[in-house]
Amino acid sequence: MEPAELVQASGSDKTRRDFLKTGILAVSGIISAAAVYPIIRLALHTTPPAPPVFVDAVLLSDMPEAGVRRIDLSLEKDGRPDARVFVKRTPDGNIIALSAVCSHLGCIVNYDRIKDQFVCPCHGGRYDGNGKNISGPPPAPLTRLPVRIAGAYIQVGIRKPPV
Ligand code: FES
């Protein structure tokens, strides 16, 4: 075989190899996209949260002038609590509601009346009187819940826990 024929054969092989490479890359790209698409779609699929349901929490007349009431709230009549909350009258007279669930690993916090702090019994996390995380492992404040006055009651807005 002459050297010129060898060069010509090599060029043809190279073109075929490039074509095969491109084809393989295209097919693997399509397969990868097909595999990743459902994951991305699931990650981006966000359903807006259901609006809170306001539940009678405490009689306005039973709310201390300064202090906190811990209340278990239930959306159903089965009595199982759907939310454990603190209802608190702040020094300026406003009423706030905080979830009692620690933002670290979900233990139920207690209220330290002397220090006006919420304290987690599990790992010693502390929150100030407004629920702001101030020491220990909690990465975020206690969740603030909506509050409204309806007749004689202080109502707190809670959501059904995800099933
Ligand atoms: S669960 Fe509350 S500090 Fe860890």
Secondary structure E strands in the chain: 53-59, 67-73, 83-89, 95-99, 110-112, 117-119, 126-127, 133-135, 144-145, 147-150, 153-158
Ligand 1, pocket residues at CB < 6 Å:
102, 104-105, 107, 120, 122-123, 125, 136-138
The correct CATH number of 53-158 out of 3.30.200.20, 2.102.10.10, 3.40.1440.60, 3.30.300.130 is 2.102.10.10
Atom of ligand 1 nearest to the CA of 109: 2
Atom of ligand 1 nearest to the CA of 137: 3
pTM above threshold 0.85: no
**pLDDT one-digit tens code per residue, 23-61:** 777 777 766 766 766 666 666 667 777 889 999 999 999
Check pLDDT > 70 for residue 161: no
Q: Where are the domains positioned within the chain?
A: 1-46, 53-158
Of the pLDDT bands very low, low, confident and very high (cuts 50, 70, 90), residue 10 is low
Q: 157, 107, 155, 109: which is closest to 132 by C-alpha?
A: 109
